[in-house]
Structure formats: C-alpha cells, structure tokens
Amino acid sequence: MVFPTTYTSASCQQEPYLYRVSRRFFFYLKLALVAGVLLASPVIFHQIWRFIAPGLYQHEKKVLVPFTVVSTCCFLGGAAFGYFVVFPPAFRFLISYSSEFLDPMPAVSEYFSLALRLLLAFGVIFELPVFMVFLAKLAIVDAPFLAKNRKYALLLAFIIAAIVTPTPDVVNQLLMAGPLVVLYEISIIAVRFFARTPLAGLEQEEHDEHDENNTNNENNTA
C-alpha cells in the first residue's frame, strides 16, 4: 500500500507511523486481504451468479447477468473514487488542525482504517444506480417517481453521508453527499433507459414467444 497523503508538519514532511513491530506484519496481512477481495471481486460475483443461476427462470437470467457485471464495475469504480479522490483531501483536512505545539503522528492502523472505511462506503454508494434500476425492474419505482421525490433524496443523501462517513466533520460529509446526489440523478436517467420493461413484462414476452413457437410448430405439423 502506498501512502499518497503525506503531510508537512512543523518540522518536516511525515508519513504515518508504525509504533509496534508486530503491527507491520498484521498491517500487510490486512492489506493483502482487502486487495485480494477487491481484485477477486469479479470472480466472487461470478461464483455467486453460478450458485444461484440453476434456480432462476430464463427471463431472470437475462437480467441478472448484466446486473452482476455492472455491479462489479460500479463497486470497483466507487472504491477507486473514494481512495484516490476523496480520501487525500479528507485526510489533509483532518490533520490541518496541527500546530507548532501539536504535531500529528497518525498510526498506520488509523490511516488504514480511515482509508478502508471510505473505500467500502464509496464502493457501496456507487451501487445506487444499479439498485434503482433493479427496483424499477421489479416495478417498485419508476423515473417520474424518482424525479418527484428528488428533494427528499437530497435530504436523505446528507443523512446517509453523516452516518456512513467515518469522521463527524462536515467536509467528509459533503464529499460523500455530493456524489450521492449526482448518482441519484444518474439513477433517474438509467431507469428511463434501462428499466422500461419490468421483469413481469419480460416474463409475459417470453410466454408469448413460447406460445407463438408452439402455434407455428402445430401449423407446420398440420
């Protein structure tokens, strides 16, 4: 793991510290675990898909395969956004309260925990468009409903950001609430384009196609 968010203290440029020798070993174990889960996420989603696929109807399989691929991409994109875009300014803001009398010396465990929480939080919230399209496919929501309740979504975005962010400062809350609002608008557009036909409609179309094929076969036999 690299530490891109170095900072300048009263004396020199510093990086997070390891106070105990054993923590170096466990830090690399945790880092390897997180990196392994992120890199293997496509395989993990694929294995989950293969596990549940035998119990699905054909029209459900047609929908869940794209959802699996898009969910993986959204999670990895959100994790990268949280770590490379949001985490550096958030960390610099937190240590900006240092002075000549208070020299910040964050431990590696503290640095890693903060980065991991932001990484996972943004990975999850970037699934919002996928989740909204899935609800629209189930005929629970639609684009007019989402557009009508935009003001409530804006309030809910700030509430979620205040709960999910690992620190109580308003800067981290804004850094998460802003992408949430943008993702909500993207969700409305995605629902309009990709959720025009709910799952029930796909099932009806499959039955109609099946009946049509049976009719053609009977006519050919006759």
Question: How many helices (DSSP H) and strands (DSSP E) are in the chain?
Answer: 10, 2
- Is residue 86 pLDDT above 80, yes or no? yes
* Long-range CB contacts for residues 68-71, cutoff 8 Å, separation at least 24: 69/45, 70/130, 71/45, 71/127, 71/130
Cα→Cα distances 215→117, 151, 206, 209, Å: 57, 51, 14, 10
- Is residue 2 pLDDT above 90, yes or no? no
Residue 4's pLDDT band, with cuts at 50, 70 and 90, is: low
Highest-pLDDT range among 47-51, 115-119, 128-132, 198-202 = 128-132
Please tell me the distance from the alpha carbon of residue 95 to that of residue 120, in angstroms, as a whole number: 22
Mean pLDDT of 153-168: 84
